[in-house]
Amino acid sequence: MPLDSLQTLFPMPPPRHNRKRKRRRQKRAVPCSPGLETTAPAPEPPPPPVDPFTKEYRREAARAYAREAGEGAGEGAFAAHDERPRRAPFVVVKKRACGTARERCIMKPRDEADCGPTRFAVGAYLGHGASGAVFAATVANGVVANDAGEALGPGARVEARYQRGDEWYPGTVQAASGPAGVAVAYDDGDFEDAVARADVRPLAPEVALKVARRAEADELEAEAGLAAAVRARAPPRPAALGTIVEPLATWRWCDAAALAAARLGPTLSDVLRRGGERAGERPPEPVALFLAAGVMEAVLSCHEAGVLHCDVKPDNFLLRAPAAGAAGAAAAGDRDAPAAATAARRGHGLVLTDFGRGVDRRRHRAGTQFSTALDHAHLAAFEWPPARADRRRAPRPRAPWVHEIDTYAMGVCLHLIATGGLPTRDGRRQGTPPRAWDRDFWTSLIDAHLHTDPDAGAPSFARRREFVAATRAALDARRFEDLDADLRRWCRRAAGK
């Protein structure tokens, strides 16, 4: 019988699926508990960029520092004097620009009953910082001590009691007249050849005094605290050519605030503009290597301490020079020593100042980037090109940044040192170093810091340490005697002496 007929007479049951086995397999699968999930958790999204240049951010950062300082958790050490509710013993008057005269400020003393006890002898107007005007001043009442005044040798500035009277008068030590006395030439023209040591005391040093209004008092104290924090956090760097400014003291009154720091030499901008005998003259290559190493070391110390300066420019670098009475010629032991270490040991260096726009990265979550919604006219030439808006081209979003804002500005400073001019607006090098210099070294150094690719990022800390080591090695190949003489000559001309 055909097979089809058999299937008709005896129909085959439909095929049965092995549902039981499937159910068993499903029973064997152990469900995961919520704490033992096998899938990796979704990565936490990065925090949004922060704009550190808004007034709200600056005020909140200043309040946070004030809270920490009040709780005794601030880093670094400097004297903080709160003389409220008394008024400041001075008043600052602003003179607007007129014709060829630039805008400047004048500090006038105010001796009234409701003024604070501290007194200031005001000197020249030095400029204007992010938080206020800066003056050369001498602080009375022994608030800022002169650590170098114990050895009263010839040339030391002192105060002495003329003919053992009650008043103290400023003068200069001329010579030691005996074991217990010195010869003093007073500033008013009098002279004494044997003044007892008990009647002579070191004159308070001249400081750079930054004065701010009451509304900016918190920001001024935060600036001092940030500079002190960098000095406390940065890893020790022996014989460093680039250092951070040291805040000495702060004052607060009901209508103003002040910050005192050590009075240093001319700015890097003054040295590059007025240090040469002719306009546009480039410094000798040893001086340029010294300046480049100082700039790179100072900014690297900031970043290693977790702080962004955000205002790196030649006006914020001050030259530190040996005391006027120090001998200019190198000692016999210094002739064969490395020039960089010898220069630092003898007192030469570059100091980074003005932390009024600084950002403490330790106050933010790890991975936080920064951005700004506005262009800054005073930083146009030193601002990282991807972080600013260029309306001449197709609109693009502003790139967030971290270290890029400072390393690019540092590259602009190196470009100024080597070529005397600024790079192009989009961050390309233009101009060449002098023919006698090592052009390959300088171009590679400048190009590495003038980085404009947002995806590449800033050079790593290790790479930047290599740049510093290479620059110091190139400086060590020169004679310290020549470097010392050139530095002193360029600093004198920059200071107008």
37 part of a folded domain: no
Are 180 and 113 contained in the same domain? no
Q: What is the mean pLDDT of the chain?
A: 83
Are 160 and 131 contained in the same domain? no
365 part of a folded domain: yes
Are 259 and 329 contained in the same domain? no
Rounded Cα distance between 418 and 411, Å, is 11
Confidence at residue 13, expressed as pLDDT on a 0 to 100 scale:
62
Strands 242-244 and 349-352: parallel
Confidence at residue 333, expressed as pLDDT on a 0 to 100 scale:
53
State the total domains in the chain.
Answer: 3
Q: What is the pLDDT of residues 21-76, one digit of tens each?
A: 555 555 555 555 555 555 667 677 778 889 998 889 988 988 888 787 766 656 66
**Which domain range does residue 186 map to?**
146-203
pLDDT tier, 327 (very low <50, low <70, confident <90, very high otherwise): very low
| Percentage of the chain lying above the pLDDT 90 cut | 41
Alpha carbon separation from 381 to 278, 410, 413 (Å, rounded): 25, 11, 10
CATH number of the domain that residue 254 is part of? 3.30.200.20
Q: Is residue 476's pLDDT more than 50?
A: yes
CATH number of the domain that residue 374 is part of? 1.10.510.10
309 part of a folded domain: yes
Q: Phi and psi at residue 83, in whole multiples of 5°? A: -105, 20
316 part of a folded domain: yes
156 part of a folded domain: yes
Are 325 and 454 contained in the same domain? yes
Q: Phi and psi at residue 19, in whole multiples of 5°? A: -70, -30
Q: Is residue 253's pLDDT more than 80?
A: yes
13 part of a folded domain: no
pTM of the predicted structure, to 2 decimals: 0.81
Helix (H/G/I), strand (E/B), else coil: 42: coil
Q: Is residue 355's pLDDT more than 60?
A: yes
CB 228 within 8 A of CB 75: yes
Confidence at residue 71, expressed as pLDDT on a 0 to 100 scale:
66
Confidence at residue 148, expressed as pLDDT on a 0 to 100 scale:
41
Q: Is residue 493's pLDDT more than 60?
A: yes
Angle at 375 between CA 374 and CA 381, to 5 degrees: 160
Are 288 and 432 contained in the same domain? yes
Nearest in space to 156 (alpha carbons), one of 324, 319, 322, 320: 324
194 part of a folded domain: yes
CATH number of the domain that residue 168 is part of? 2.30.30.140
Q: What is the pLDDT of residues 400-414, one digit of tens each?
A: 999 999 999 999 999
Are 289 and 179 contained in the same domain? no
Q: Give me the mean pLDDT over the 192-200 stretch.
A: 85
Q: Is 437 exposed, middle or buried (0-12, 13-18, 19+ CB in 10 A)?
A: middle
Are 378 and 412 contained in the same domain? yes
Are 218 and 357 contained in the same domain? no
**DSSP strands (E only) in 302-404:** 307-308, 317-320, 349-352, 359-360
Which stretch of 82-86, 184-188, 228-232, 282-286 has the lowest confidence by average pLDDT? 184-188
Ramachandran assignment for 294, one of left (phi > 0), alpha (psi -120 to 50 degrees), beta (any other): alpha
Are 196 and 215 contained in the same domain? no
Are 113 and 172 contained in the same domain? no
Q: Is residue 12's pLDDT more than 70?
A: no
Q: What is the pLDDT of residues 259-268, one digit of tens each?
A: 999 899 999 9
Q: Give me the mean pLDDT over the 178-186 stretch.
A: 79
Are 363 and 277 contained in the same domain? yes
Q: What is the pLDDT of residues 91-146, one digit of tens each?
A: 888 877 776 677 788 888 887 778 888 888 888 888 876 678 899 988 875 555 54
70 part of a folded domain: no
Are 215 and 324 contained in the same domain? no
Q: Is residue 437's pLDDT more than 90?
A: yes
pLDDT tier, 378 (very low <50, low <70, confident <90, very high otherwise): low
